Chains A and B, each alone.
Chain A
Amino acid sequence: MMPIETARAVMIRIFILFLLSGTLYAQVTSERLLHPEREPQNWLSYSGSYSSQRYSTLDQITRDNAKNLELKWVFQSRSLEKFEATPLVVDGVMYLTQPPNDVVALDAKTGRAFWIYEYKPAADARLCCGQVNRGLGILGDTLFMGTIDAHLLAIDAKTGKPIWNVEVGSAKAGYAITHAPLVVKNTVIVGVAGGEYGIRGFVAAYDAATGKEKWKFYTIPGPGETGHDTWEGDSWQHGGAPVWITGSYDPDLNLTYWGVGNPGPDWNGDDREGDNLYSDSVIALDADTGKLKWHFQFTPHDEYDFDAVQIPVLVDTEWEGVPRKLMMWANRNGFFYVLDRVNGKFLWGSPFVKVTWATGLDKNGRPIPAPNTKPTREGVKVYPGNQGATNWFSPSYSPRTKLFYIPTWADYFSVYTKTSTPFQEGRFYLGGLPRSAIPMMVRGAVKTWTEEDGYGSFIAIDPRTGEKKWEFKMNDVTDSGLLTTASDVLFGGGREGHFYALDARDGKVLWKASLGGMVDSGAITFKAGETQYVSVAAGQSLFTFALRN
């Protein structure tokens, strides 16, 4: 028998071990996902929190010392694809995807790999715009990844071994998954890309433990459903309306919010008369049932490819003197919107860049079309251009400055031409072609276009007044997401390959690094040990910075 003293010592030691493992190495429960603000050292979901503000309360890197940031490590991907991924960081381990669908677990301090899982997508996967992946979801010890051949995978976070694999859509027919799954309670929710292939978009939810489908919401209503009559004839069957960026979630309302993409064919609406619901809309879906609670359409009957595939940013703040649950949205169509996220009511909106396709918004937020701006056979010049005033890359909202930060393609146009394309499964279904001097997806080492074609900027707007507080201009456009922190530092980059720390209050440059490749994702920040790090993907690599020791 063990002497009492020793037994007690052992008990205490076990208890301490238990405590340690409980706080430091516990599983990522759904409770933890609800409260990421309690563990700012981690980055537990694509947008950092369910409200998707891309705001961190870490404050070791300040406006004063940001100039002392230095490179700590680089992870070079084995891929020539665009690197659009946002990593997750859980208790010192970083989980990253490398295109097309590899998952890597890295030591967050050194960038050394624990394991790599290489998924081989089907050869017949079809992607309009690169074999990209934007990241992962996590619950318990399981990671979730959507694949370019439209599968959803569960992967063991400790070993990198796949646990289950379900087919979400048909890759051959143009369905794909490029965004990070949204994990709510014990459910994994994804949408499908394929708006250029005449798919019928949807959002679907799967049981995290088994991969069993729980619900599915079609973003184009079928016969008998409300909104079906906003599509002419059988155009609804291949009208696009994809969902290819992660949604947000309001736990009190139990609503998930998703931005829906363009109707197809993109640039020719002749055969799809009507508003084409729910293309270019935000939809509010019940997290448990997938039932539509409300929708708001930004661009009815779109002929410019103005996907509303942006991150829905949820903000609780006073509106006209009353505390209100808001949703803020900088849309690809050039307008900034404030909505009531309880019921989808339009509160306010105005353009944040040069816009010529609409003369403004009516009192319900519906755009007032400008004359002679629809695509024609000869071509018509319209602002914003096809890639939009902004796009899928994340904006940021800082509850400290109360400013909304948008990465933009400013004063940029395309000449939109329309043609006729018959629908054929698995083939491009575009109905036209926009032209612009600015390359759509990737740029090379040399830039020849000028400011008349458009330029890039980060803008800070006051969402209560629409006032532009500051603008940080870049010579070239940007596909970079933004991140703000509690020390009022803003991180973002651009296609030129520069990565900046700016003063979030006035847009002044605090620090800059040249990364030599397009910044095509949003930065994150986390802590490992006592050190605050910032990571961002650029070119084919992920770069991680911290203050000089």
Chain B
Amino acid sequence: MLSILIAFMVLAPPQDGSQLYRDNCARCHGQDGNGIPGVDFRTGQFRRPSTDDDLMRIIAGGIPGTAMSPSSLPDAARRSLVDFLRSMPNSAGASAGGGDAARGRTVFEGQGGCTSCHRANGKGSRTGPDLGDAGSNRRAADIERSILNPNAAILPQNRTVRATAADGSTITGRRLNEDTDTIQLIDDRERLVSLSKATLREFTVLKTSPMPSFQGKLTPQELADVIAYLLSLKGPTP
């Protein structure tokens, strides 16, 4: 029993600070943390707070007389937000490190092997998420984390499903949609498949990513280049 509990605690994903930030803070502070004149989370410097507890207090109580209003987020969520605020300067590093989008494209389509799972510019597999507009709604930090530590921040729409049919055959794919009775996915042969749960022997939504970590497999320059490339992708414009 204890071991199950521990396992649960270990596996339970921490509150995702970047998601919390996106939902609660980005509309004023901007995706990159520099939306308010005079406040730039990327610098790692704050005007008022200096300790984590100061930050916790400001997030809870707001800054009276300014648009920075109090929030009722629970402690754990505020803690994750503080971690995230603290991580913002580091994450700016790679992308700010002079990545070259054109070189990044070669890495993405070539030695990086990214197109064996991802699609962009009409090339690549659709088994992983399509990254053709990655630059329109993702920050450098998110992209970097996805590449270096894929298990850390899997977006809900990118979960992998493994199902066993009644005849024992297995189906794996990326989960697209789900309701009480059915689950929709794109399978490892790029087919849109809808499964009726009642007909399955078993199915699991995995908490890990099939994407390997590229920590140490890409040079810092390649990493910066790939990030610059992905940030340049905004979807087609006329």
Contact = CB atoms under 8 A, between A and B. Distances in A.
Interface of A: 21, 25, 92-93, 105, 107, 109-110, 112-115, 151, 156, 158-159, 161-167
Contacts of A162: 132-133, 235-236
Contact of A114 (B119, B177, B236): B177
B151 interface: no
B184 A112 contact: yes
A418 to B, nearest CB: 39
B177 A113 contact: yes
Contacts of A161: 119, 130, 132-133, 235
Contacts of B176: 113-115
A50 B191 CA distance: 27
Chain B residues touching A, range:
20 to 34
Interface in B166-186: 176-177, 179, 181-182, 184, 186
Contact of B182 (A92, A107, A115, A167): A107
Contacts of B202: none
B238 A166 contact: yes
B96 interface: no
A483 B133 CA distance: 40
A24 to B, nearest CB: 9
A105 B238 contact: no
A25 B189 CA distance: 10
5 contacts: A107-B182, A110-B194, A110-B196, A115-B176, A161-B132
B28 interface: no
A175 to B, nearest CB: 14
B126 interface: yes
Contact of B236 (A107, A113, A159, A163): A163
B66 interface: no
Nearest to B131: A161
Nearest to B237: A165
Contacts of B184: 107, 112-114
Helix, strand, loop or mixed for chain B's interface?
A: loop
Contacts of B130: 156, 159, 161
A481 B182 CA distance: 32
Contacts of A93: 192
Contacts of B156: none
A217 B226 CA distance: 44
Given A114-B177, A163-B236, A109 B132 contact: no
Given A107-B184, A112-B182, A114-B176, A165 B126 contact: no
Given A114-B186, A159-B130, A161-B133, A109 B236 contact: no
B122 interface: yes
A161 to B, nearest CB: 5
A112 B189 contact: no
B236 A112 contact: no
A21 B187 CA distance: 13
A158 B189 CA distance: 11
Interface of B: 119, 122, 126, 130, 132-133, 176-177, 179, 181-182, 184, 186, 189-192, 194, 196, 235-238
A221 to B, nearest CB: 28
Contacts of B236: 162-165
Nearest to A113: B177
B167 to A, nearest CB: 15
A113 B192 CA distance: 10
B177 A159 contact: no
Contact of A158 (B132, B133, B190): B190
A538 B237 CA distance: 33
A167 B189 CA distance: 34
The 5 tightest CB contacts between A and B, nearest first, are A107-B194, A159-B130, A161-B130, A165-B236, A167-B238
B194 A25 contact: no
A115 B192 CA distance: 10
Given A107-B184, A112-B182, A114-B186, A158 B192 contact: yes
Nearest to B133: A161
Nearest to B120: A161
Contact of B119 (A25, A159, A164, A166): A159
A112 B185 CA distance: 11
B182 A158 contact: no
Contact of A105 (B190, B192, B196): B192
Contacts of A167: 238
Contacts of A21: 189
A497 B189 CA distance: 41
Contacts of A107: 182, 184, 192, 194
Given A114-B177, A165-B236, A165-B238, 17 more contacts: A92-B192, A105-B192, A107-B182, A110-B196, A112-B184, A151-B238, A156-B119, A156-B130, A158-B126, A159-B119, A159-B130, A161-B132, A161-B235, A162-B133, A163-B122, A163-B236, A165-B237
Nearest to A160: B130
Contacts of B179: 112
A161 B123 CA distance: 13
B194 A109 contact: yes
A378 B32 CA distance: 65
A209 to B, nearest CB: 8
Contacts of A113: 176-177, 184
A310 B30 CA distance: 50
A529 to B, nearest CB: 11
Nearest to A151: B238
Contacts of A25: 189, 191
A334 to B, nearest CB: 41
Contacts of A156: 119, 126, 130
A109 B194 CA distance: 9
B57 to A, nearest CB: 40
B232 to A, nearest CB: 16
A59 B190 CA distance: 31
Nearest to A157: B192
A250 B25 CA distance: 58
A164 B132 CA distance: 11
A156 B120 CA distance: 11
Given A156-B130, A159-B126, A161-B130, A110 B182 contact: yes
A162 B192 CA distance: 17
A163 B235 CA distance: 7
B165 to A, nearest CB: 15
A167 B236 CA distance: 12
A165 B237 CA distance: 6
A161 B126 CA distance: 11
